[in-house]
Structure 1
Amino acid sequence: MTTGYFFDLDGTLYSNRTHSVSNHTIEALSKLQKQGNKVFLATSRTLRELDHLPQAMRDFPFDARIMDGGSRIMDADQNDLRCVFLLPETMRAIDAFCKENHLIYRYSTCSENLWGTKPNLYAHRAYFDLYLCAPFYKPYQEDKVLNVLVFIKAEDQKKLRPLLKDCGIVHFDHAMEIRANHVDKIEAIQWCKERFDLDTLICFGDGQNDIEMIRQADLGICMQNGHPNLKKVADLVIGDVSEDGIYQFLKESHRI
């Protein structure tokens, strides 16, 4: 019997307030692996958005990393296990819509993280404050795209939605995350379940894009700092990311 532990990154393993991962959290992940469990990262971040994480987090030997909201899965040696790209015609439609409506969007490829339209100072700073890095500006030119983030108000998202019939979408208050059809974190987790022959799925998250992952896990766990909608579907709510919530839960439940 093999258990797979899947961890969201921002707000779950990693505190965006302090830009840190606690030593206790790294210790907990290591102990889970030593006990024969498989440990996975499940994030919407792109590969380039992982570059400025604390070294202990960058170097941790996850059994696999689910990135780009499920579009990309890499093994422990950072070789691609799979990549699912948006259709070129979909990307052309997104690009045209954003240019016509003066919207800012970010797109990711296997090697780069890029602004498809020129960002304003607010978007650039907001992005840097979150990831400690920012994309370069490069107009879309038929690149193979894994993931798109469009900065768009909630009331305007319905205007873009009809162009995305073949896409997986996560709606936020001021943005839409767009991926290929049927691709999301839980789909990628199910792929890993088969690939790594897992019997039980235990998932940790904090955001709205973690809802299906938490809902469909054998044990779905939300952080205390998590979104109210995620807490409603979680089996358990544990401590805050800034208070070693994961470590304390795993220790108190005798999982490590």
Structure 2
Amino acid sequence: MVKAIFFDIDGTLISFKTQTMPESTKNAIKQLHKTGMKLFIATGRHFSAIQSILNVEFDGYITLNGCYCLQGTENVIFKKSIHRDDISHFIDYLENEWSFPCLFVEEHSLSVNYIDGEMKFLMDLLKEDTLPHHSPGYYRDKELFQLTAFFKDDMSEEIMSRLPNSTYMRWYPTFADIICKGIDKGVGIDKICEYYGFSASETMAFGDGGNDIAMLQHAGIGIAMGNANDVVKQAADYVTDSVDDDGILNALKHFEILP
């Protein structure tokens, strides 16, 4: 029996094409609440970049790819920051080898080293009109929970070799979320389950990006959106329609969660 459902945001709840949530998804979430189902967000976003785009209620939030988990909107039940040595190595790389735009995520704030066209695209996705600017050295002594860095796949091995205590994942091709090694959305599911007293086998999860793979594999039922790539689909138990074609509602009907 499914007791809780976890939803990624971008490409799952929110369409990349329209930047909005389909009406069928909004209505499905409202119907799920009436059944008593527990509903959670599981995203790479910071909590501050969630509320402005979601106009429906959720019971809790897995944010920053599992590094920061909340019951409700204020009760922090788990948090894990990036190792200090890795932060120092990352800053050294930006200062001395290759400078690229990066979103630096602290517990309660977002800021950047600089803004170019690619960073502006991310800011538009996050509905952030302006963000503070700081030079990389500013962050050397900061507690950081995530680095959203603009490097492509062909640079991943070189950059991550400098960060032995970290891992990375992508939910869009042009940037990667760097977080503490050993953390992912699947870990976030466990933290929520521990708090509420149910098991991962009693959960369902929806996702479309590379950062959703661990979650889809860990949930009792992992559902990939039709707009996901083949690697994500292969990790899922079921592939539904795209976010723009009522994928969430159709999967809920398929599994008889909703009539």
User: Identical aligned pairs, as a percentage?
Assistant: 24
Asked if the contact 2:9/2:42 (under 8 Å) is kept, the reply is yes
- Between 100-109 and 132-141, the greater mean CA deviation after superposition: 132-141
Deviation at 1:26, TM superposition (A): 2.3
Q: Distance in 2 between matches of 1:215 and 1:26?
A: 25
Residue of structure 2 in register with 1:111 after alignment? 108
Paired residue type of 1:74 = L
Provide the secondary structure at the position in 2 that maps to 1:179: strand
Cα pair distance change 1:247/1:150, threshold 3 Å: same
| Aligned mate of 1:99, from 95, 98, 104 | 95
Gaps of 5+ in 2: none
Alignment pair present for 1:25 and 2:25: yes
What SS does the corresponding residue of 2:248 show, helix, strand or coil?
helix
Alpha-carbon distance in structure 2 between the residues aligned to 1:73 and 1:27: 25
Cα distance, 1:51 vs structure 2:
4.6
The answer for the alignment partner of 1:212 in structure 2 is 214
- Does residue 46 (structure 1) correspond to residue 46 (structure 2)? The answer is yes
Conserved in 2, the CA contact under 8 Å of 1:52 and 1:133? no
Q: 1:98 to 1:46 in 2, by over 3 A?
A: same
| C-alpha separation in 1, matches of 2:144 and 2:40 | 23
* Partner in structure 2 of residue 90 of structure 1: 86
Is 1:168–1:184's contact at 8 Å kept on the other side of the alignment? no
Deviates more, 1:45-54 or 1:4-13: 45-54
Kept in 2: contact 1:98–1:105 (CA 8 A): no
Q: How many residues align?
A: 250
Instruction: Kindly indicate whether the alpha-carbon contact (under 8 Å) linking 2:105 and 2:147 is maintained by their aligned counterparts in 1.
Output: yes
Does residue 155 (structure 1) correspond to residue 157 (structure 2)? The answer is no
Code of the residue aligned with 2:242 in structure 1: it is D
Counterpart-to-counterpart distance in 1, 2:73 and 2:8:
20
- Residues 69, 191 of structure 2: 8 Å contact kept: no
Q: Relative to 1, partners in 2 of residues 1:41 and 1:242: Cα closer, same or farther, differing over 3 Å?
A: same
User: Residue 42 of structure 1 contacts residue 70 of structure 1 at CA under 8 Å; is this kept in 2?
Assistant: yes
Q: Distance in 1 between matches of 2:219 and 2:176?
A: 24
Amino acid at match of 1:168: T
Unaligned segments of structure 1, at least 5 residues: none
Inter-partner Cα distance in structure 2 for 1:145 and 1:69: 13
Following superposition, the deviation at residue 81 of structure 1 comes to: 1.9
Contact 1:2 1:197 (C-alpha < 8 Å) held by counterparts: no
Report the counterpart of residue 71 of structure 1 in structure 2.
67
Which aligned pairs between 1:143-182 and structure 2 lie closer than 5 A? 143-170=142-169, 173-182=173-182
For residue 206 of structure 1, report the CA deviation from its aligned partner: 0.4
**Aligned equivalent of 2:77:** 81
What is the CA-CA distance between 1:22 and the residue it aligns to? 2.4
Q: Distance in 2 between matches of 1:153 and 1:252?
A: 37
Report the Cα distance in structure 2 between the residues aligned to 1:50 and 1:137, rounded to whole angstroms.
21
- Output the aligned Cα RMSD: 1.9
Name the SS of the counterpart of 2:239 in structure 1.
strand
